[in-house]
Amino acid sequence: MKEGSKTSVVCSPEVLTVTDRNSLIVFNLVNPDYEFPNSGAIVFADGAGEFPNSWYLDPAYVAVRDRRLTTGEYAYTATVQHKQTKEQHSVDPVIKNMNE
């Protein structure tokens, strides 16, 4: 996550394609120095009906339910924070819902 003095967050894949209805999407944070905040770890710009449920599972895992009712691309913000300083960093990837 850290390059020189700059911290960056990466989501892999940057565009996640979902084809199944009611999919559970789990986000796993692999850097041991960072954690997901208790709330607001995954926030969607649009598509609240597509992603009605989200869960904070523990500091390294959060999850959302993707209903996949409508084909489209949904931008979201994933936020993590440093465990000691609580400084937050974000990235804006996309979930792409496709018809089966």
The domain spans of the chain are: 2-97
> What pLDDT, on a 0 to 100 scale, did the predictor assign at position 3?
52
Reduced to 3 states (helix: H, G, I; strand: E, B; else coil), residue 92 is coil
d(CA 80, CA 91) in angstroms, rounded, equals: 9
Output the tens digit of pLDDT for each of the chain's 100 residues: 555 567 888 889 999 999 999 999 999 999 999 999 999 999 998 887 899 988 999 999 999 999 999 999 999 999 999 999 999 999 999 999 998 6
As assigned by CATH, the class of the 2-97 domain is: mainly beta
> What pLDDT, on a 0 to 100 scale, did the predictor assign at position 6?
74
Cis peptide leading into 13, omega within 30 of 0? yes
Reduced to 3 states (helix: H, G, I; strand: E, B; else coil), residue 80 is strand
Which tokens is 92 given?
């804006």
pTM strictly above 0.85: yes
- CA-nearest of 89, 78, 94 to 40 is 78
